[in-house]
Every structure is written in C-alpha cells, then in structure tokens.
Chains A and B, each alone.
Chain A
Amino acid sequence: MKKIAFSVLLCLTAVAQEAIKTTPGSPETHLIIRHAQSDVIVDLTRDLESPLTATASDIQITFLPSGKLVPQSSIDPASVKLVAGTARKFAFVLNAEAAALPEAGDRTYQIEVRNMAYAGMAGRVSLKTTGTIYDASNIKSLVEATAQALSSAKTTDEKNLFAGLDLVVPNRGRAGAQGDFVFNQSFSSLPRKISSVGFADSGSFGARLKKGPLGNDPQHFSLGFSLRKTVLLASRADLNTLRAATDPGAAHVPSEDALHALSNVRSHFWRAFLVDYGAQMEGNVSDRGIGNTSNAIFDSRAQVATAATPILSERGYFTLRLMPAGFETGHNVSNPDSSTTRAISRYKAGAELHLFYQSKTDKTFINRVELAGASIYRRLFLTEAAFKAATKTNVNTTRGDKLWTQVDFKVFVGPRMGKVRPGLKTTYQRGYLPPVFARTRTFSYGLVFESMEGQTN
C-alpha cells in the first residue's frame, strides 16, 4: 500500500513538473471563420496606446499559401479596437463575403498592421506576423491549446517558485528539515452522470505532505481525490441579467440594470457556498517511511467563503473561509505498533483568514505582506492512534477534542533580483493532525524567493 501511494505521489510530481510555461514572445494572431463573420485577433507582448491608433485602412491580410489578399473594404471599420480589459490585444471583424474567405487549402494567413503606437513610446510602428485560420474542422485544437496554457499544475500552495530554505525551531531544541508539499490537479471533466444530477461541478486529485523533525512537529501526508459543488450566493434574476448583458449583441440590457445586478451580487458578504467530498488516504511521515500508519477516509465538508474584500485604501484585502461542519469516517489500514484502533469517526469545523497588503509601486521597500491563519477543530468519536514520545512509537490511543492551528507570515522586501523577489517567511504550527495524533508545536522561519516571471503587475 505504501509503495503504491509513493509511486502515485512520484507520478503526480512528474506531471506537475511538466507544467506548460507561457512566456512572452512575438505577436500572435488567429482568425476564426464563424457563420456570420470572421474574427481576427492579434495578441502583443507590450501595451498599446489607447485608443488604438491603427484603422481598417492600415490592415492588410493575405491568406496562405494561396496569396489571396483580403480587400480592406471587407474589414468592419467600427470593429477595429482594443479588447476591453487589456492593452495588449486588439480585434476586428471581417464581413461574411467571399472576398474575405480563404481559398481551399489555406490554413494560415499573414497580417500586416501599420500605424501602431505602443504606450509610452513616440512614433508609429508596423507589425507583421502570421497565424492559424480556425473553422469547424480544427477549432478543437484551439480549445485544447488554450486549455493547456491555462492549467499548468500547482506544485505548491504558491505555485511559481516559492523555493525556500526553512530553519526549524522545534519544541525541544532539535532542528531538522521541514517542508510542505502540496499538489493539486483538476479533473478535466467529470463523469456526465455526476455533474448532470448536481452532485458536483468540479473535482481534483492531489497530495499534501507536512514534514518536520520527528517528535513534536507535524508528520502528515494525505493523498486522494475530492469532488466539489459550488453555489454562488446570488439571486438567479441578477445572474441572468449579467449573462444577458455580456452575451453578443447585448445592447437591449441597459448598462444601469446590469450594474445594479452586479452590485447586488457583490453585496453578499458570503459570496459562495461550497461542498467538498471525497476519499483519501492519510498517513504519517516517519523515519520508517510514508504511511507506516495510515487510514482510509471518506471526507465531506461544507464551507462558506467571502470574495477578496479590499481594505487599507484598496492596497490590501482579506478573505475568510468558514467551515461549520465536516465529517471524516473511515478505517485504520495499518498501524504496526498497535492493533487496538480500527473504525474512524470524526466531526470537524474550521476557519481560515487571509490578510494581504501590496504596495502601490513596485519600488517600495516592503513590497508585499501576507498573513494567513487557519484553525481546524476535530472531535474524535472513536479511539485513534497517538504518538508515544518515550518510545517513539504509535502505541498510545486518544479520542475527544483535537485542535490544529497554523499561522503563516510572509513579507517580500527590496527590489527584484533578476526574475525573483526575496522574502521572509515565518510559520507557527500547533496542535494535532491525523492519523497519529501527537501534540506538535513549531516555529519556523526562512528565506523565500518568489518568481516574478509571467507577472505583469
């Protein structure tokens, strides 16, 4: 069992490390032939001046390999503009007419745009690039490519590069290595029956490892899958109004009505209700390996969550998650030190608070501050394994109330060092975690480096 769990964990790690990386490069473009028009999209790697300086008369499109030139009269002049929400993408429409359609066999095109102006730069430039033509025959490849670019797997809570060296200050003066490893991967699709009857709308499988020195520090590992049902706490009428206001040709929905509906949605302090349920294997981490003592658990929990709420003149925000009730039931799979524990039944409740501050400019000495506190209370209805420090074995048993609390504080200071920014991290952990309940208390601190690659803020 342990070997299987370890193998799966290693596979998950390998998948995570193959994450797709999207790096800025040259302009990209694509053309989608739709029923009533064709869309041409151009993505750039730097901000354009707003409004767009180029017009329809500055654009030339040539289908390849036929060399067919699209007449400029086929371009809807009113449609040539920056896409809302970005300064790096513009789009326009080709009218649905034979002159604006590619010849049979044309799969790419070249676009040349003159009279372009980048933000903060004097003068005008031209760009020339080639792109793919999409229609019903190959649109799936665009879906797959964009999905892949979006979903690079998370390998830690923070993703990117929170590589850190932590020095541990354990309870009784012993030092050692400590680290958390978290991996989560979403299911690309759920079985139709599960989602169609409303049991769940998303799912993931993942692993979590908390490892500290033996004795007083956390030794916890879990591996499993989880399904989730998410319900927005908003009225159906408001959500329908927002949908109508963002559908194509939505001019019939007055902007004021849509803004009112959005305001109603945002007025809810608790923005969503989420139910998670799944199965997992939880094990301990010791010098005898991972999962020497392990439990098979069915886990279900409900929680309410706020949206990120701005504070401190909108330079900061907080989020709050509250789990009023959750249940863990299952069975002890292995405990070589004791055979007295078998069935598992627990109630749990918890809360999690995140506070975040981001400085106004990138050059401020204290760039970012994060404080995260989480606490989870468990009530063990049945006897479970506990750690006996004197013999370093899991021969003790326990039941009743068990509390786990963790507080993380991070501060990122100073200028960037290449593509990373240095920071300090401190973590305080206290309480009990399954499957081998042992009183733990650690205070650790260390350096962390955040990769700035791909961040534009």
Chain B
Amino acid sequence: MAETLAEVAAKKTCTALAQATGKVTVLSFDPFQVEPANVLDLTFKAVAINDDVAISIFKKAVANLVDQSLQRKIMGQGVDPSSRIILFSNFLEALLAEQELER
C-alpha cells in the first residue's frame, strides 16, 4: 500500500521518541500504533524531553532512522522543547521529500 511521507515521518518521530523517553511507547509497528495515541500533538516537554541533553538524544535517535545525507540536517536543527512534536514530524517529512526529489 502506498504510504505518504507524512506517515513515514510520523513513524520515525514516534520511534525516536520511544528511544528518548519512557513516556512514549510503540505498541505495534504493523499497523503502527503508539501510546499516547496523540503524542505528536503534545509538546516535547509534555513527554519529558525538556532539556538540551534529552533533545540531543531524541535527534540522534531520529538521525539513526534516516539516510546519512539527512543526519547532519537533523542534528543541526534547533528544537524548542516547548514546541509541539508535530512540528518536528513536519520538518522530517519535508526533509524526506527533499531527499527523494533531489535524486
């Protein structure tokens, strides 16, 4: 089944969250289910990713889930812990699209 890059980005973001904080759990990868179910609508602070170290762990976890060409952009991206996680997922979706379209 065709998958949008928004879904791919959401899965990678949630999986990285589950590595960076115990407050997020992936219940299933097929179909993809995560707890809390609306985790992308929460802020990073709400899932206990609220300082520079936790943000670094999260970004590294995301970077490990993508091609090397995107890793520098992800690690170099500033992330405000007060921002909603969906904004990171949007950013990742855009990066994945850029990578595909530049091939």
Contacts and interface: CB of A to CB of B under 8 A. Distances in A.
Interface of A: 19, 22, 32, 34-37, 39-41, 43, 47, 50, 76, 78-79, 83-89, 91-93, 134-136, 139-140, 142-143, 145-147, 149-154, 157, 159-160, 184-190, 192, 195, 201-204, 228, 230-232, 234, 239, 242-243, 245-251, 253-255, 258-259, 262, 265-266, 271-272, 274, 303, 305, 307-310, 314, 317, 319, 321, 354, 356, 454-457
A41 B19 contact: no
A140 B57 contact: no
B72 A84 contact: no
Nearest to A192: B72
Contacts of B93: 41, 146
Q: Which of A50, A184, A310 has the most CB of B within 10 A?
A: A310
B48 A253 contact: no
Given A34-B5, A188-B78, A247-B8, A271 B86 contact: no
Given A255-B30, A455-B43, A271 B15 contact: no
B56 A274 contact: yes
The 3 A-B pairs with the shortest beta carbon distances in the complex, nearest first, are A308-B48, A151-B78, A186-B78
30 contacts: A19-B80, A22-B87, A34-B5, A34-B97, A39-B97, A47-B38, A84-B10, A84-B32, A85-B37, A87-B41, A92-B4, A139-B97, A151-B79, A152-B82, A203-B76, A204-B78, A239-B64, A239-B65, A242-B15, A243-B65, A245-B29, A255-B30, A258-B26, A274-B53, A305-B54, A308-B23, A454-B83, A455-B46, A455-B82, A456-B46
Contact of A139 (B8, B38, B101): B101
Interface in B16-36: 18-23, 26, 28-34
Contacts of A187: 76
Contacts of A86: 10, 38-41, 86, 89
Nearest to B92: A146
A184 B52 contact: yes
Contacts of B8: 246-248
B4 A88 contact: no
A305 B19 CA distance: 13
A146 B60 CA distance: 19
Given A41-B6, A255-B30, 11 more contacts: A39-B97, A136-B101, A146-B87, A146-B90, A151-B77, A204-B78, A230-B56, A305-B57, A308-B48, A454-B84, A456-B43
Nearest to A76: B2
Contacts of A266: 18-19, 22
B57 A271 contact: yes
B77 to A, nearest CB: 6
Interface of B: 1-8, 10-15, 18-23, 26, 28-34, 37-43, 45-49, 51-54, 56-57, 59-61, 63-66, 71-73, 75-91, 93-95, 97-98, 100-103
Contacts of A19: 80
B13 A85 contact: yes
A228 B23 CA distance: 25
A32 B99 CA distance: 13
A303 B11 contact: no
Interface secondary structure of B, over-half rule: helix
A152 B26 contact: no
A170 B14 CA distance: 46
Q: Which of B5, B21, B94 has the most CB of A within 10 A?
A: B94
A255 to B, nearest CB: 4
Contacts of A88: 38, 41, 86
B91 A147 contact: yes
Nearest to A249: B3
A254 to B, nearest CB: 8
Contacts of A231: 60
Contact of A456 (B15, B65, B84): B84
A242 B66 CA distance: 10
Given A37-B2, A255-B28, A310 B23 contact: yes
Contact of B38 (A85, A147, A190): A85
Nearest to B79: A150
A272 B56 contact: yes
Given A150-B87, A242-B65, A253-B29, A454 B82 contact: yes
B73 to A, nearest CB: 7
A147 B88 CA distance: 8
Contacts of B46: 455-457
B4 A93 contact: yes
B14 A85 contact: yes
Given A34-B5, A305-B57, A22 B83 contact: yes
Contacts of B49: 308
B42 A84 contact: no
Contacts of A314: 23
A251 B30 contact: yes
